[in-house]
Chain A
Amino acid sequence: MTDTLKLGSEAVLILGLYLTATLVIGFLARSRGRMTPGDYFLGGRTTGAVVLFFTMQATQYSGNAFFGFTGMGYRNGLIWILAIPLIGLIITAQLSFAPRLYVLSRRRHYLTPADYYADRYGSTTLRLIVAVLTIVSMFPYLMIQAEATGHAIVGLTSGALPFWSGVVFIAVVMSIYISVGGWRGVVWTDAFQGVLLTLAMLGATAVVLQMAGGLGHVVDTLDRIQPALLTAPADAQSATSRWLSLLVVSAIGFAMYPQAVQRIYAARTVGALKRSFLAMLVVPFALGACTLLIGLSGAVLHPGLAGSESDGVFALLLADALDHHYWLVVFVLCGVLAAIMSTSSSVVLSLSSIFTRDVYHTVVRPHAGDRELALAGRVFVSIILLLVVLASVSPTATLWRLTEIKIELLMQLFPPLILGLYWRRTTTRAVIAGILTGAAVVGLMIVAGYPRWWLFQAGLYGFAVNLAVCVLVSLAARPDPLAQERVDREFFAPFKREDETNLRSIRT
């Protein structure tokens, strides 16, 4: 996407400085002494509000924010103001489960999202289903990030580093700082990368908008050449199927990202989690608006791009800016790389924890000690990155479409999570049947060529079926008093006022 840029050797120097900085931060963040899996994957659950906010932000905004989101603004025009609630609603959706899940994760030492499901429903099968669904959903996402990395490196080095060597080089750098620093390495580099990507997005927006003649000129020009981009959705059906459905699917699906759930586990205190959530509610108003403004400016300066080609409009705009804003373009490309690397490293660490805890520790080596599991986590980091590099091929769908498929599968984990937190009668069989049925509905609709049908996206149909199966199968089962008593004691009692003393014990 950035192959058209012609940068000098200084750009390679800046790239080298940026990568060196991430490695140094990764090494500084490493813990001395022996690491338990809790230390390696969650930083000992001691992450404070500031770092937690930056790692949430850097993880949420990937290369997709620069390419996929600006492409959406380019294709859809002003209605892409919905980028703001689309991102902001993730935190709102997490309010439905974060307060209880945080408390349970402290009391019951959860490391991965599947830990909760396995614990609440007492099922190893469910753990494996959740783990496999998460891995299947997140792996293509990593492949997209790897491909975007290759393009960014080619652009930054003007082709001095070929595509594949760029992907391998960045994978090696990430492998080093994740393996050495674990959680702390990832979140500290996230903090650095989060600042970088925010400044890059703001800088790029200012320059691109200036090139397009300012917002007023952009709107007036679009009024003449593409008035449809200033028009609200044509009818209620398209407004619902295209936008309302997207907002709901995104809010739930993004909220279920394994790395997002693990950031809830890792907070030092409820106060830290609350403050990071509050800051996260503000960020979309800046960065979401930036993607809209860049997309609209692109529609004025480069009209006529279609389909996945429009995801490249950001790169075309950078090429336009090269003559007068050389250093800013170099900086923005580093910001793009920061966005990609921060998201990728968080996903890789998260997937590594899932392989280690939910697969290796559960199926392969149930009696493995902490040291072996921490070592296994490091090995899995390298294996995952190797597989991602080998599997990275050019996508056939747009970046945004691949993101949608991923979140539509992940949102199938939401009903059993919520029902398990708020409804005592939910049974193991019901949630297994619900998840499998919901995922099957999504898969079949996508394979059959119906990613959207009538009013909603496939993910919402799967979600509705999933929820209905969970409720109906649970109601059909005769309640088991022993199981109900365990669920009451371990998963509901902590949230009653009379158990205040018990709840305070989670401080330790």
Chain B
Amino acid sequence: MRREPGSPIFWLTVSVLLFVVVPYGFLGESEPRFAHLPVWFYLSLAASVAIAALSAWRIVRFWDEPDD
């Protein structure tokens, strides 16, 4: 088959990252803080970055361009 950006491992990783994006590990918490903001905020942001970076990597490396 031709290479495509989606794969079972990709979707599994995105699904796992979604559980970091939504701060399940800090339910009802606003502490600890770092630079005024709760740590869960930074973790959620980092997971969002990870999903975007992973998607970008799959697009660049695994989406064949037959017509270019």
Q: Is there contact, CB below 8 Å, between A274 and B63? A: yes
Tell me whether A95 and B5 are in contact in the complex, defined as CB-CB below 8 angstroms, given that A215-B36, A278-B56 are known contacts: yes
B38 to chain A, nearest CB (A): 6
A81-B45, A103-B66 given; name 11 further pairs at CB < 8 Å: A78-B38, A81-B44, A89-B51, A95-B6, A219-B36, A220-B36, A232-B40, A271-B68, A274-B60, A278-B56, A506-B67
Given known A-B contacts A95-B5, A271-B68, A497-B1, A243 and B22 have beta carbons under 8 A apart: yes
Chain A 210-246 residues near chain B, CB threshold 8 A: 215-216, 219-220, 223, 227, 230-236, 239-240, 243-244
Query: A85 and B48: CB pair below 8 A?
Result: yes
CB distance from B34 to the nearest CB of A (A): 11
Q: In the complex, which residues of chain A have a beta carbon less than 8 angstroms from the beta carbon of B66?
A: 103, 270, 500, 503-504, 506
Across the interface, do A281 and B36 meet the contact criterion of CB distance under 8 Å? no
Could you tell me if A92 and B67 are in contact, using CB atoms closer than 8 angstroms?
A: no
A444 at the interface (CB under 8 A from B): no
How many residues on chain A are close to B (CB under 8 Å)?
A: 53
Give the residues in chain B near A473, CB-CB below 8 Å: none
Task: Kindly identify, within residues 414 to 445 of chain A, every residue whose CB is under 8 Å from any CB belonging to chain B.
Answer: none
Chain A residue numbers with a CB within 8 Å of B4 are 99-100, 495
Q: Which 3 A-B pairs have the closest CB atoms?
A: A232-B23, A271-B68, A232-B26
B27 engages A235 (CB within 8 Å): yes
B37 touches A239 (CB 8 A): no
In the complex, are the beta carbons of B28 and A504 less than 8 A apart?
Answer: no
Across-interface contacts of B45 in A (CB, < 8 A): 81, 84
Binary B-proximity of A84-123 (CB < 8 A = 1, otherwise 0): 1100110110011001100100100000000000000000
Given contacts A92-B14, A235-B27, whether A282 and B36 have CB atoms under 8 Å apart is: no
Tell me which residues across on chain A come within 8 A of B52, comparing CB atoms.
88, 92, 281-282, 284-285
Closest to B21 in A: A85
Q: How far is the CA of A82 from the CA of B6 in the complex (A)?
A: 23
Q: Does A507 contact B (CB under 8 A)?
A: yes
Residues of A within 8 A of B40 (CB): 232
- Contacting pair B48 A233 (CB below 8 A): no
Closest Cβ of chain B: how far from A222's Cβ, in Å?
10
Closest-by-CB residue of B relative to A220 is B36
Cross-interface CB contact of B22 among A244, A281, A496, cutoff 8 Å:
A244
Say whether A158 faces chain B, with CB atoms less than 8 Å apart.
Answer: no
The answer to whether B38 touches A247, judged by C-beta atoms less than 8 angstroms apart, is no
Show 22 A/B contacts (Cβ-Cβ < 8 Å), sorted by A: A78-B41, A82-B21, A85-B18, A85-B48, A88-B52, A92-B14, A103-B66, A219-B36, A223-B30, A232-B23, A232-B26, A244-B19, A270-B64, A270-B65, A270-B66, A271-B67, A495-B4, A500-B66, A503-B2, A503-B66, A504-B66, A507-B67
Interface pair B27/A495, CB less than 8 Å apart: no
Chain A: minimal CB distance from B17 (Å): 9
The reply to whether A269 and B63 form a contact with Cβ atoms under 8 Å apart is: no
Q: Categorize the interface residue count of chain B.
A: 35 or more
Name B8-37 residues within 8 Å CB distance of A: 11, 14, 18-19, 21-24, 26-30, 36-37
A39 to chain B, nearest CB (A): 20
Interface residues of A in 267-282 (CB under 8 A from B): 269-271, 274, 277-278, 281-282
Binding site for A on B (CB under 8 A): 1-2, 4-6, 11, 14, 18-19, 21-24, 26-30, 36-38, 40-41, 44-45, 47-49, 51-52, 55-56, 58-60, 63-68
A215 to B66, CA, bound (A): 47
Contacting pair B55 A91 (CB below 8 A): yes
User: CA A106 – CA B23 in complex, angstroms?
Assistant: 42
Most chain B beta-carbon neighbours within 10 Å: one of A220, A495, A496: A495
Residues of B with C-beta under 8 A to A236: 24, 27
Q: Which one of B21, B26, B60 lies within 8 Å of A278 (CB-CB)?
A: B60
Q: A79 contacts which chain B residues (CB < 8 A)?
A: 23
Tell whether A82 pairs with B22 under 8 Å between CB atoms, given A92-B55, A504-B66: yes
Residues in A with CB closer than 8 Å to B49 are: 285
Find chain B residues with CB under 8 A from A269 CB. 65, 67-68
Partner of A92, one of B24, B41, B51: B51
B63–A270 touching, CB < 8 Å: yes
Taken together as a complex, chains A and B put the C-alpha atoms of A187 and B22 apart, in Å, by: 35
Bound state CA distance, A504 and B49, in angstroms? 35
| Contact status B2-A495, CB under 8 Å | yes
A27 CB to nearest chain B CB (Å): 32
User: Per a CB cutoff under 8 Å, which of B24, B28, B47 touches A231?
Assistant: B28
| Bound Cα distance A482, B4 (Å) | 28
- Complex: how many Å from CA A496 to CA B36? 53
